[in-house]
C-alpha cells in the first residue's frame, strides 16, 4: 500500500526542487574556462524559481528554504523583491555578514597574554588526608608571601589547610615552620567570574586592598613583589583557570567579537556602511568591562593602555554578563579601524594599511612587480627611498601615518599631552645609550641610531619617522580621514561593490563591457542609497547574472 503524502507540497514540485539542488550547474562543470565564457557560448540559462529561492536562502541567511516557502512558490510566478527584502532583514543575514567580516578581518585575538602569569590563580590541595582543602593561590607570589629569605619564586608554597585568622591590623596571622616557611589559612571569596559559587582562597592572595605599602597599585605589574597586595576585591585583579572557567580566554574572545558587534549594528539599523569604519560607537560586555576596569595594566608583550573609555561611562555589569551594551568613544576613534580587535590583529601601521587596502578597497600591493628606480638607495631604514621597496612604500608610508598616534604592538591611543611628537628625554637617552631609556621611550619613540638615516629622527614618535610635511595632517586626523577621502574619490564604494560581487557571485568582475556596465550601475546604486549594504546586496542578487546557472 502506498502512503499519501501530507507534506503540503506536491510530489512533482518537491522532486523538481531536489533535482535542482543536486544537479551540478553548467558553470560548475566548466570551472576554470573563464568567468562566463562557457555559459555565453550556449546562451544564458536561468535558474528556475525553486533553485533561485534556494540560492537566495543559502546566500542571504545561510540555510535552505523551509517547506512552506517552497510550497508558496507553486502558485507564484517567482520570488518577489519583497521576499528578498525579508531575507535581507532577517537575523540570518546579519549572521552571514558577521561571518563574512570575521573572515575578512581575521578577528581572532584570543591568543594574547592579557594578564601576566604571576597573576594566574592556581588550584592546589593542601593539608593531610582527611583534613585536606582545595584552595586557589598565586603560586608565583607564594615565595614572597610565605617563603624564607632567599626562597626561589619557582617554589610552590601555598597556604595551610585551616581557616584564616587575622591580627589587629587586618593582616593574616601565620604559623611558621622549622624551614622558615610561614603559612596563613584560607578564606571564602565570591569570585568575580561566578559570585554565586564561593571558593576557598589563600588569605594573602585574597587581600582586597587596591594599594599596597608605599602606594603601589595592586592592579599593576609594579605590585608583583609587594606582599601587601593580593588579588583585590572578589579577586578582581587576577586570572583564573578553574574548572570550565578561563578568565583570560573569555576576555580575548570578547575582544575578538567586539568589532563584529559594530558591523551588526550598522547593517541591522540600515546605517551607511561607511560607519563601520568611522563611527565612535562600540560595544562592551561583562568580560570587557571587567578587564578595562581592573586588569588593563597587566597585559604582557602587548600594551593596551589607556582604556578607550573612562570607567564612569562603562555599564555596571558583572563579568558573566555576555550581553552587548553600546558605549561612545572619543573623537580620535574611527570605527573598527581603531578597535582592539583590529589593532591587535594587525600590530604595525603598515599591516593596518594593508588590511584596509585589501579588505575594503579590494586592492593589493604586489611586490613581485617591483623594479629598480633611478636615484634609489640600497641601504637605509627609509623604505620610500630603498630600491624595489619604494614602489610599494611610497604609497604605504603616508597611509601608515593615519595610525601614527596608535600604539604598535598594542592598541592604545597616544594622546598628544602624554606623547608629544618629539620628546627630548627620549632623544637624550638614545644618544647616551638605549639601556638608559625609560620604557615609554623604548616602546613609542625612535631611539635606534642604526641605520644612519634614523639619526635625525631620534626622540620622535615612531609613527612620524621619515614623514614628509604633507603627511602630517594624516597623523593628527587619523584613519577617519583616509575613509573620508576614499568616500570622496569613490574608491571605497567601488571596493565594497567589488567585494560584495565576489561574495555573492563567487567570481570577480571581468573585463567585459557587460561586467563594466554592471559594476558602474551597482556603484551608482550603492552611493545613491547612502551606502546601504542591503540595497547593494539586493541589487546583486536580483541581477540577471546572479540567476544564471553556474
pLDDT band at 43 (very low <50, low <70, confident <90, very high): low
As a whole number, mean pLDDT of residues 275-292 equals 98
Mean pLDDT of 329-343: 97
| DSSP 8-state class, residue 4 | P
> Which of 18, 17, 39 lies closest to 505 in space, CA to CA?
39
pLDDT in tens, 112-147: 999 999 999 999 999 999 999 999 999 999 999 999
The answer on pLDDT for 514 being more than 50 is yes
Pairing of strands 199-202, 186-189: antiparallel
Structure confidence at residue 35 (pLDDT): 42
Q: Which residues contact 297 (CB under 8 A, 6 or more apart)?
A: 217, 219, 220, 221, 305
Inter-CA distances, 31 with 36, 133, 158, 548, 550, Å: 10, 66, 65, 14, 9
Question: How many residues in the chain?
Answer: 550
The stretch 183-192 carries a mean pLDDT of: 98
- pTM here is 0.89
State the average pLDDT for the chain. 91
Angle at 141 between CA 139 and CA 146, to 5 degrees: 95
Q: Is the pLDDT of residue 13 over 60?
A: no
- What integer pLDDT is reported at residue 388 of this predicted model? 87
The full set of domain ranges for the chain reads 11-105, 117-237
pLDDT recorded at residue 31: 39
Q: State pLDDT tens for residues 245-281.
A: 899 999 999 999 999 999 999 999 999 999 999 999 9
Distance CA 73, CA 67 (A): 10
Query: What pLDDT, on a 0 to 100 scale, did the predictor assign at position 2?
Result: 42
Amino acid at each position: 500500500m502506498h502512503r499519501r503524502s501530507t507534506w503540503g507540497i506536491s510530489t512533482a514540485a518537491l522532486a523538481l526542487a531536489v533535482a535542482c539542488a543536486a544537479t551540478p550547474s553548467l558553470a560548475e562543470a566548466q570551472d576554470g574556462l573563464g568567468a562566463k565564457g562557457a555559459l555565453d557560448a550556449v546562451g544564458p540559462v536561468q535558474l528556475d524559481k525553486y533553485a533561485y529561492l534556494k540560492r537566495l536562502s543559502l546566500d542571504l541567511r545561510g540555510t535552505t528554504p523551509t517547506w512552506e516557502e517552497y510550497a508558496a512558490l507553486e502558485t507564484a510566478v517567482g520570488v518577489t523583491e519583497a521576499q528578498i527584502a525579508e531575507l535581507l532583514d532577517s537575523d540570518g543575514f546579519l549572521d552571514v555578514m558577521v561571518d563574512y567580516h570575521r573572515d575578512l578581518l581575521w578577528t581572532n585575538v584570543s591568543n594574547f597574554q592579557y594578564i601576566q602569569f604571576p597573576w594566574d590563580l592556581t588550584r592546589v590541595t593542601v593539608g593531610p588526608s582527611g583534613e585536606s582543602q582545595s584552595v586557589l593561590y598565586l603560586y608565583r607570589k607564594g615565595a614572597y608571601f610565605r617563603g624564607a629569605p632567599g626562597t626561589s619564586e619557582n617554589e610552590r608554597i601555598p597556604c595551610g589547610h585551616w581557616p584564616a585568622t587575622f591580627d589587629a591590623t587586618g593582616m593574616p596571622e601565620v604559623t611558621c615552620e622549622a624551614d622558615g616557611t610561614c603559612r596563613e589559612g584560607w578564606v571564602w571569596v565570591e569570585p568575580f567570574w561566578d559570585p554565586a559559587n564561593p571558593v576557598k582562597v589563600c588569605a594573602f592572595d585574597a587581600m582586597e586592598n587596591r594599594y599596597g605599602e608605599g602606594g603601589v597599585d595592586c592592579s599593576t605589574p609594579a605590585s608583583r613583589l609587594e606582599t601587601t597586595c593580593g588579588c583585590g576585591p572578589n579577586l578582581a585583579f587576577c586570572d583564573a583557570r578553574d574548572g570550565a572557567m578561563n578568565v583570560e580566554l573569555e576576555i580575548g574572545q570578547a575582544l575578538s567579537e567586539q568589532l563584529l558587534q559594530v558591523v551588526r549594528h550598522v547593517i541591522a539599523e540600515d546605517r551607511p556602511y561607511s560607519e563601520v569604519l568611522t563611527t565612535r560607537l562600540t560595544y562592551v560586555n561583562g568580560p570587557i568591562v571587567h578587564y578595562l576596569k581592573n586588569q588593563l595594566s597587566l597585559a604582557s608583550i602587548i600594551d593596551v593602555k589607556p582604556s578607550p573609555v573612562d570607567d564612569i561611562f562603562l555599564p555596571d555589569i558583572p563579568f558573566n554578563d555576555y550581553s552587548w551594551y553600546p558605549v561612545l568613544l572619543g573623537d580620535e576613534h574611527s570605527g573598527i579601524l581603531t578597535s582592539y580587535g583590529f589593532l591587535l590583529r594587525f600590530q604595525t601601521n603598515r599591516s593596518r594599511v594593508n588590511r584596509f587596502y585589501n579588505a575594503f578597497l579590494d586592492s593589493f600591493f604586489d611586490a613581485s612587480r617591483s623594479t629598480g628606480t633611478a636615484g634609489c638607495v640600497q641601504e637605509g631604514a627609509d623604505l620610500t627611498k630603498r630600491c624595489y621597496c619604494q614602489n610599494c612604500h611610497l604609497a604605504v608610508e603616508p597611509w601608515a601615518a593615519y595610525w601614527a598616534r596608535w600604539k604598535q604592538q598594542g592598541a592604545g591611543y597616544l594622546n598628544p599631552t602624554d606623547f608629544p611628537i618629539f620628546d627630548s628625554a627620549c632623544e637624550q637617552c638614545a644618544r647616551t645609550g638605549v639601556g638608559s631609556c625609560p620604557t615609554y621611550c623604548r616602546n613609542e619613540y625612535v631611539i635606534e641610531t642604526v641605520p644612519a638615516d634614523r639619526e635625525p629622527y631620534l626622540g620622535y614618535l615612531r609613527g612620524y619617522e621619515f614623514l614628509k610635511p604633507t603627511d602630517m595632517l594624516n597623523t593628527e586626523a587619523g584613519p577617519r580621514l583616509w575613509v573620508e577621502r576614499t568616500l570622496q574619490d569613490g574608491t571605497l564604494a567601488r571596493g565594497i561593490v567589488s567585494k560584495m560581487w565576489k561574495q555573492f557571485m563567487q567570481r570577480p568582475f571581468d573585463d567585459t563591457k557587460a561586467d563594466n556596465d554592471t559594476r558602474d550601475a551597482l556603484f551608482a546604486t550603492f552611493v545613491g542609497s547612502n551606502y546601504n549594504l542591503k540595497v547593494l546586496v539586493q541589487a546583486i542578487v536580483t541581477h540577471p547574472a546572479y540567476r544564471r546557472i553556474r
